[in-house]
Structure 1
Amino acid sequence: MKKGFATVAQLSEFDEIIDARSPSEFADDRIPGAISCPVLDDEQRAIVGTIYKQRSAFEARRVGGAMVAENIARHLSERFHDKPKEWRPLVYCWRGGQRSGAFVTWLRMVGWDACQLEGGYKNWRREVVAEMAELPGRFSFRVVCGPTGSAKTRVIEALASLGAQTLDLEDLAAHKGSVLGALPDRAQPTQKWFETSLYIRLKALDPGRPVFVEAESRKIGRIHVPEALIMRIREGDCVLIDADREARLDFLVRDYAYLGADPAELCARLEHLSKLQSRETLDRWKALAHAGELHALYGELIELHYDPLYKRSQNRNFARIEAAQVFSADSLDDAGIAKLAQRMASAT
């Protein structure tokens, strides 16, 4: 490796990882733990790109060079003015080219042992994609199944608190997975950032121990679960929550209570079912939403949407569902969920 360069395998050797790309590139995906210090912001990058296409590469570099110098100078004075001589940063841009190269040149002129990531972000992304095709095969999954309202995600969380290994896909995707599943306080990540977060989570797990994961479809909201992972999960041993209807309904009313405060948003989400339910049914459900009758609304959703969908999908998608170990529950309050998790953990 050339002096002043480092590989993805050497990331842990540095005190700081600096992302020199634009803010929009950083928001789309980044190396975990990196800080955003763009040498060109999004508007500047567009200006330089236009000059490159319409005039010449020299003009683009002349205009862009001044912007880069100004931005790097600002980062040095605002972000790194108190770093000691021993501080060792790693800088990356899209493919390890001029943006990170300019930044590293300035840092090294100051006297820091700064390095540039060989191949830039592209090499990092290449590793994530390659690893996500192979990593899932190392694990033995215990798939927590059950119809909507069975508190599967809460059971996963309770299992984690007991020390069991878990993979909470809905937390990583910031979505509950159902038509009503968008969270009120968290936007979904980009697809690339979801995959990066998933990669980091899997790398932290022990392949010698089982991993509890919720039975999911290929999509969680607008996020796609990587093919190798979804196929491996569908091959896993299943554990089935068998909760009675009233327990599930009570749980749904509690878990989606925030939707009751915004009937218009609830109705907008129900409209996504227009291809699956009649207009008469949807109008009735919207009337219940506006009246605050969540118990009645969720009861009909269980009977007419969620349960029929569950019966079709589980038997088709999970090879070992018929041999699932069944855990009954007559309550899905906090105490009932804790008991379910304890029984599952003890049975593994």
Structure 2
Amino acid sequence: MKYPAVLSFADILPALDAFDTIIDARSESEYALDRIPGAINAPVLDDAQRIRVGTLYKQTGPFEAKRVGAPLVAANIARHIETLWADKPREWKPLVYCWRGGNRSGSMAHILAKIGWPVVQLDGGYKAYRAHVAGSLENPPELDFRVVCGTTGSGKSRLLETLDGIGAQVLDLEKLAAHRGSVLGHLPNEPQPTQKWFESQIWDLLRRFDPARPVFVESESKKVGNLRVPEAVMARMRASPCIALSLSRENRVRLLMEDYEHFCADPSALNGQLDHLVQLHGRDTITAWQEMANSGAMPELVDQLLVQHYDPAYLRSIDRNFVQYPKAQLLELGDISKGDFEAAARKLHAA
């Protein structure tokens, strides 16, 4: 094969995991929005340079833009070779892409090929990859989803984490979304990813799952925080067999106190989130809950939130949205220790 080889994403996909390095040659802000999972960012033009060259292109024309951009491109590629790839052997096989598979990735691929590396350039660039992801999520693979259901605080996320730890196949949408899926679910100091990066991570997991083995997933709503679960994936989940996780209310309060420790330490943050529930529960109830938070009565507040907010909402939605829930497999947890979750996970994994 002659290098650089320019291949479509359909041709690349079967061997995607065989590349030693996937190089995203776009700017840092483009990379932050979305990328091929596992790719590293090695900009041919950084954000400021890209704006400068793009402005010249529009205002003066392509020749002046390329005259100014060429030394910037050359310097950036040289720096990447010296700092990132100087120790790579002759057999090192990288995949390079940019926005449309044009000048930026082409420049980098040409130089890497001239050095002697068997470099592949993605024809159509990120846009071709993104089109494939969007199409794949509209028709996801036929997988044996097992939906872990249970009221808030019953330990669904901990069970999925434990299942993952013992080698089960797990699609943890809340982990991918950096959100616990409720009005109080945002994680401190961890912003949610972009919608496109959320979808890329889902696509990457789905393509790796063995269809002959079950995939455990939580009974999510259509949105996890500000992110939307792909509609076809949600439809598959909602039609799948269910597992009803059961835990006493006392233990659910204990578990939530552990998982939401950041709110216990900062009642003002909790009270800000509680304001979003005024329309559902009225100002008087929310004010009373906020006073409980300020006075340190957190266990009592969590208990009231379960009884008055979370549990009624769960009971209203679960039968309607997950059609196999009425015949769900019951899984009872006696406590919230690590051992309890390991025993429950192994029971499911062995079934």
Instruction: Find out whether 1:39 has 2:40 as its counterpart.
Output: no
- The one-letter amino acid paired with 1:53 is K
Deviations 1:26-47 (A, max 9, x none): 1111122222110111111112
Q: Provide the TM-score with structure 1 as the length reference.
A: 0.92
* Displacement after TM superposition at 1:203 (Å): 1.8
1:139 to 136, 143, 146: 143
Aligned with residue 320 of structure 2, among 290, 310, 316? 316
1:112 paired residue number: 117
Per the alignment, do residues 139 and 60 of structure 1 end up closer, same or farther by CA in structure 2, a change over 3 Å counting? same
Counterpart CA distance in 1 for 2:340 and 2:88 is 51
1:13 is displaced (CA, Å) by 4.3
CA distance, structure 1, for counterparts of residue 244 and residue 91 of structure 2: 55
Query: Hey, what's the Cα distance between the residues in 2 that align with 1:221 and 1:90?
Result: 34
Structure 1 equivalent of residue 205 of structure 2: 201
Selected match of 2:217 from 168, 189, 213? 213
2:259 is the alignment partner of 1:258: no
In structure 1, the residue matched to 2:7 is 6
Aligned residue pair count: 346
| TM-superposed deviation, 1:202 | 1.5
CA distance in 2, matches of 1:238, 1:214: 9
- How far the C-alpha of 1:336 sits from its partner, in A, is 3.1
**Is 1:328 matched up with 2:329?**
no
Match of 1:289 in 2: 293
Aligned partners of 1:270 and 1:282 also within 8 Å: yes
Query: How high is the sequence identity, in percent, across the aligned residues?
Result: 49
Residues 25, 242 of structure 1: CA spacing in aligned structure 2 closer, same or farther, 3 A cutoff? Answer: same
Q: Deviation at 1:176?
A: 0.9
Find the partner of 2:157 among 153, 168, 179. 153
The answer to whether the Cα contact below 8 Å between 2:149 and 2:243 also exists between their aligned partners in 1 is yes
Query: C-alpha distance in 1, partners of 2:227/2:282?
Result: 27
Aligned partner of 1:78 among 78, 83, 89: 83
The alpha carbon displacement at 1:213 in A equals: 1.2
Residue of structure 2 in register with 1:272 after alignment = 276
Of 186-195 and 145-154, more deviation after overlay is shown by 186-195
CA contact (8 A) 1:95 1:121 kept: yes
**Which amino acid is the alignment partner of residue 19 of structure 2?**
F
Deviates more, 1:90-99 or 1:199-208: 199-208
The one-letter code matched in structure 1 to 2:103 is Q
**What's the offset of the Cα at 1:275?**
2.3
- Choose 179-188 or 216-225, whichever is displaced more: 179-188
Shift of the alpha carbon at 1:147? 0.9
Q: What are structure 1's unaligned runs of at least 5 residues?
A: none
1:190 equivalent in structure 2: 194
CA distance in 2, matches of 1:111, 1:163: 40
Q: What amino acid does structure 1 have at the position aligned with 2:243?
A: V
1:127 and 2:132 matched = yes
Find the aligned partners of 2:283 and 2:37 in 1 and give their Cα distance: 46
Identify the match of residue 172 of structure 1 among 170, 176, 182. Answer: 176
Local SS of the residue matching 1:274: helix
Distance 1:266 1:189 in 2: 22
Q: Is the 8 A contact 1:144 1:212 kept in 2?
A: yes
Name the amino acid aligned to 1:255. Answer: D
Work out whether 1:87 is the aligned partner of 2:92.
yes
Greater Cα shift, 283-292 or 109-118: 109-118
SS at match of 2:140: helix
> Which of residues 62, 67, 72 is equivalent to 1:67?
72
Contact 1:86 1:112 in 2 (8 A): yes
Single out whichever of 2-11 and 107-116 deviates more from structure 2. 2-11
Task: Tell me the TM-score normalized by structure 2.
Answer: 0.92
Residue identity matched to 1:77? E
Which digits, 9 at most, give the CA deviation of each residue in 1:123-176, with x for residues without a partner? 21122222222234x112111111111111111222333443322111111111
Shift of residue 239, structure 1, vs aligned partner: 1.3
* Counterpart AA for 1:189: P
